[in-house]
Structure 1
Amino acid sequence: MKKTISGIRGIFGEDLNLKDVLEFCNNFSSLIKTKKCVIGKDTRPSGQMLKDTASATLLKNGIDVFDLHTAPTPVVFRESRKYGAGLVISSSHNPLEWNGMKFIVEGRGINEQELPQIIQHQDILKTKVGVESDLATSYVEDAKKIIGNIENSPKIVVDIGGGAAKGFAPELLKKIGCSVEILNENLSGCTRGPDPTSDNLSGLISSSSERDIGFAFDLDGDRLVVVRNGKKQTPDVTLGLGVAKSLELGYKKFVLSIDTSISVEKFIKEKGGTVQRSKVGEANVIDLMLKNDAQAGGEGSSGGFILPEFNYCRDGILTSGLIASMLGTSEFDEVLNYMESYHQIRDKIKINSDFHDKVIDEIKSKFSKEYSEMISLDGIKGIIDDDSWVLIRKSNTEDIIRVSAESNNVEKCKKIVKDTVELVNQSYEEIR
């Protein structure tokens, strides 16, 4: 089971059980000052059982529960701003046998100070039993106000991936003026996996060949992948397009995760904006945004564009509308060409989590001899030159160590990743 600020995640029936849901939701109740909580789930088979257990626990502790039923993560985040707290039953892009919970307070994900209050046992003294109500959301109308109307009626293919974006992403795109075709609307018979960043999206690539653009979502609707001209774009391109639109709207102050492409940072600075870097993870990006009053940003590894005035989370649905509004403009082509001139490769190595810190410490000493500049904000990042870097860090969501690298030369990028993966494996063998 993974217990991080990204949420609780595990394989349901193995290392995540209903008693765990009861325990964590019991603890979460103490963080809900308003005594009100919005709840929603994605489309995983185990989702209803977990949601019923979570709701019952919150109700027992005097929390009024507002049920969105099946709803994307961004919708739960949006509504939680009105009620004070939220809970998403999801493990986002993980395989179907996984499930989990994302905890929301004051419209944002929990931070590192609040996590221990959820994962460490505590007793809750209830004053009364809460009340459960169904909740209708104004998410689509609220998002439309941010995006506006599109005049040229772009043709768009949307791959739902059988997830919770069904009924939300297509509706928003239609309402702002797009012509929409839908793929993989339901989980039954879905032709791709839950994570569009790792799937080849062959169906979407084929269907979008005669359309202006294709969008693919993960199971809970916070991740977005773009397909353009028969090519699956990197997650950093999704973020870069969202950033370009926010620059167009006049925003200048950005926060990016440390693993986000240097191309996004350079594009922002060329347009007169400023950039600060955070640890990887949506909650870390949001935390730095709130501390510094940043106007936009996100993390490249998940294609997660964040617009704080609308939502304190990655919002793939809103981002799809913002990108659609740029189609046919010179800004869209400019940012796509700019981002495509850089090459980023992400790899992962399965390593027992008990050894993660030791492996990273071992790598740190080796990096110090090879690179003139190192950044230890999150894992170890070695700066190779103005256009190239490498980062190793332990995952917040899986039992792996991640290796990311970038360069404006694709062969150079491949070599950096290959050499670093070998170095990680070698270090793991040495300390075991």
Structure 2
Amino acid sequence: MALMISVSGIRGIFGTDLTPENLGRFTAAFGAWSSSGKIVVGRDTRVTGQICEDIVVATLQSVGCDVVKVGVAPTPTVAMGVHKHDADGAIIISASHNPEEWNALKLLNGKSEFLDAEEGEKVIQISEEQSYQYKPFDEIGSVEVDSQALDYHIQKILALPYIDQELIASKDFTIGLDPVNGTGGIGIPAILEALGVDTIHAINEEPTGLFAHNPEPLPEHLQDISALVKEKECDLGIVTDPDADRLALITDQGRLFGEEYTQVAAFDFLLDKKPGPCATNLSSSRAAEDIAKKHGQQCHRSAVGEINVVQKMKEVDAVIGGEGNGGVINPDLHYGRDALVGVAMILQLLAERDITADEYRATLPDYEMRKSKMQLADVDGDAILQKAQAVYQDLDPDTTDGVKIDFEDGWVHLRKSNTEPIIRVYSEGTTAEKAKVLADKVVKAVQ
């Protein structure tokens, strides 16, 4: 596996692909791109986090940047740090849901958003050309430590006009938590306690960076938290990925809420408070449209990727957005996925409607999603996408990102992978069998 370089940063296995050399080169390029401004630096709990942080901070200083270190913190907390310090950008040292041997640099601009394509390509160009300059001893940047970044983040959540701390506290919620040894073990208890939740039963809460199970919050990895919720009679189970920007939920009956339905619930909550459009990506559940229609609003679709959703949100002035991987984007706080504000919104919803998590989940539309792939080998992937568009032209397929075909009872989305010689085939139907039938139908038509 070679180093993965994209407009959002670099990612790889530390010591083989992700080395001190390329960490330094890419960080220097980002520092130069930011015109040697103020940069916030934070990291998740990975074992290699400290050494990566040391390299990143020293390199930023070397190209003249002033650095604000927030230490081990959720990705959305680092993002909020950009606003707090009026910074010119941020570097988040986290490989998100990748295994513990991985690490990465995730880059934010001065608006606290992931770099767009033009910004990212410029950083890549500077890195490849090594057209940055190190400063003399009397021009190197400074370093300050912000130990209050998480508290700032939480206070901003509590200040949202639709979050009622006293109401949530009055419900005496009992919460189960699995932060898979990541920063959610720091951030989620803090926001729960600030909301007046006194009883938290946690597993895998130690922030060691040695993940007790596969860190991606998918159903096959969540048996233990489901059992804990039932055993401890919790009102809700909360699961985060290692950098706590993705949120998955378990109902009070120990059943999976469905990662796709985190943003659906957030949409339902906020559209009830603030009428307006919402936005998500093309591969997210049709339930997002259903909820938008329930509130008399339109759900807009973007290409896959957080920055693409953010750009669509700004384009249509969306009041809420997200991704079906458990990402909630609330622009009242910042334009980034944020599990902490997601937790506050879900608890507020349950408290206001006086309903259990299991009862609430039963009110949402039910769809089943299937994810498969087509191996390309010597086949032209673009030709397959063009054929899909031609075969289903009467259904007016969406070609924003690959080809998405909407059927009456489901949809199929084909898009080329950026990292493998495959076409990803996502499908959704009213049942798992329907999702499979639709995907098989489309694949057969284009092969």
Instruction: Provide the TM-score with structure 1 as the length reference.
Output: 0.90
Question: Which amino acid is the alignment partner of residue 222 of structure 1?
Answer: D
Aligned residue number for residue 413 of structure 1: 435
Aligned residue number for residue 123 of structure 2: 118
Q: Give me the whole-angstrom Cα distance separating, in 2, the residues matched to 1:299 and 1:50.
A: 28
* Match for residue 143 of structure 2 among 132, 150, 153: 132
* Match for residue 158 of structure 2 among 119, 139, 144: 144
Q: Give me the whole-angstrom Cα distance separating, in 2, the residues matched to 1:99 and 1:188.
A: 11
Aligned residue number for residue 327 of structure 1: 350
Cα pair 2:9 2:106 within 8 Å, conserved: yes
Change (3 A) 1:256 1:190: closer
Matched, 1:257 2:261: no
Structure 2 unmatched ranges of 5 or more: none
Please state how far the C-alpha of 1:166 moved relative to its aligned partner.
1.9
Please state how far the C-alpha of 1:108 moved relative to its aligned partner.
0.7
Cα pair 1:9 1:397 within 8 Å, conserved: no
Please state how far the C-alpha of 1:230 moved relative to its aligned partner.
1.5
Give the SS at the match of 1:51.
helix
Q: Give me the whole-angstrom Cα distance separating, in 2, the residues matched to 1:111 and 1:72.
A: 22
Please state how far the C-alpha of 1:364 moved relative to its aligned partner.
3.0
For residues 358-404 of structure 1, give each alpha carbon's deviation from its aligned partner in whole angstroms, at most 9, with x where no partner exists: 3243243145224633111011111222x310012234577754321
Aligned residue number for residue 183 of structure 2: 164
For residues 174-206 of structure 1, give each alpha carbon's deviation from its aligned partner in whole angstroms, at most 9, with x where no partner exists: 211223222101237753221112643111000
Please state how far the C-alpha of 1:104 moved relative to its aligned partner.
0.5
Question: Which amino acid is the alignment partner of residue 384 of structure 1?
Answer: F
Please state how far the C-alpha of 1:231 moved relative to its aligned partner.
1.5
Question: Which amino acid is the alignment partner of residue 75 of structure 2?
Answer: T
Q: Give me the whole-angstrom Cα distance separating, in 1, the residues matched to 2:420 and 2:354.
A: 39
For residues 270-306 of structure 1, give each alpha carbon's deviation from its aligned partner in whole angstroms, at most 9, with x where no partner exists: 2122222111111111122223332211111x11110
Aligned residue number for residue 222 of structure 2: 201
Alignment of 1:102-113 (within 5 A): 102-105=106-109, 106-113=111-118
Matched, 1:271 2:295: yes
Please state how far the C-alpha of 1:13 moved relative to its aligned partner.
2.1
Q: Give me the whole-angstrom Cα distance separating, in 2, the residues matched to 1:397 and 1:282.
A: 17
Aligned residue number for residue 328 of structure 2: 305
Change (3 A) 1:19 1:382: same
For residues 30-68 of structure 1, give each alpha carbon's deviation from its aligned partner in whole angstroms, at most 9, with x where no partner exists: 332571011111111222121111111111111111111
Give the SS at the match of 2:108.
strand
Please state how far the C-alpha of 1:154 moved relative to its aligned partner.
1.3
* Match for residue 16 of structure 1 among 15, 18, 27: 18
CA-based RMSD of the aligned residues comes to 2.5
Structure 1 unmatched ranges of 5 or more: 428-432
Aligned residue number for residue 240 of structure 1: 264
Question: Which amino acid is the alignment partner of residue 242 of structure 1?
Answer: A
Q: Give me the whole-angstrom Cα distance separating, in 2, the residues matched to 1:38 and 1:188.
A: 21
How many aligned residue pairs are there?
420
Matched, 1:343 2:368: yes
Change (3 A) 1:25 1:351: farther
* Match for residue 91 of structure 1 among 88, 95, 100: 95
**More moved, 95-104 vs 5-14:** 5-14
Give the SS at the match of 2:103.
strand
**More moved, 211-220 vs 125-134:** 125-134
Question: Which amino acid is the alignment partner of residue 195 of structure 2?
Answer: I
Q: Give me the whole-angstrom Cα distance separating, in 2, the residues matched to 1:423 and 1:21.
A: 45
Q: Give me the whole-angstrom Cα distance separating, in 2, the residues matched to 1:44 and 1:163.
A: 8
Question: Which amino acid is the alignment partner of residue 238 of structure 1?
Answer: T
Change (3 A) 1:395 1:148: farther
Cα pair 2:391 2:445 within 8 Å, conserved: no
Question: Which amino acid is the alignment partner of residue 380 of structure 1?
Answer: V
Q: Give me the whole-angstrom Cα distance separating, in 1, the residues matched to 2:141 and 2:173.
A: 46
Change (3 A) 1:56 1:361: farther
Question: Which amino acid is the alignment partner of residue 403 of structure 1?
Answer: V
Give the SS at the match of 1:255.
strand
Q: Give me the whole-angstrom Cα distance separating, in 2, the residues matched to 1:188 and 1:134.
A: 22
Q: Give me the whole-angstrom Cα distance separating, in 2, the residues matched to 1:176 and 1:392.
A: 42
Change (3 A) 1:59 1:276: same
Cα pair 2:304 2:401 within 8 Å, conserved: yes
Change (3 A) 1:423 1:80: farther
**More moved, 261-270 vs 343-352:** 343-352
Change (3 A) 1:144 1:278: same
Q: Give me the whole-angstrom Cα distance separating, in 2, the residues matched to 1:76 and 1:399.
A: 34
Q: Give me the whole-angstrom Cα distance separating, in 2, the residues matched to 1:199 and 1:113.
A: 38
Identical columns (%):
30
Q: Give me the whole-angstrom Cα distance separating, in 1, the residues matched to 2:444 and 2:52.
A: 40
Please state how far the C-alpha of 1:93 moved relative to its aligned partner.
0.6
Q: Give me the whole-angstrom Cα distance separating, in 1, the residues matched to 2:247 and 2:52.
A: 25
Question: Which amino acid is the alignment partner of residue 402 of structure 1?
Answer: R
For residues 198-241 of structure 1, give each alpha carbon's deviation from its aligned partner in whole angstroms, at most 9, with x where no partner exists: 64311100011111110101110101111112212322111111
Aligned residue number for residue 223 of structure 1: 246
Question: Which amino acid is the alignment partner of residue 108 of structure 1?
Answer: E
Aligned residue number for residue 430 of structure 1: none
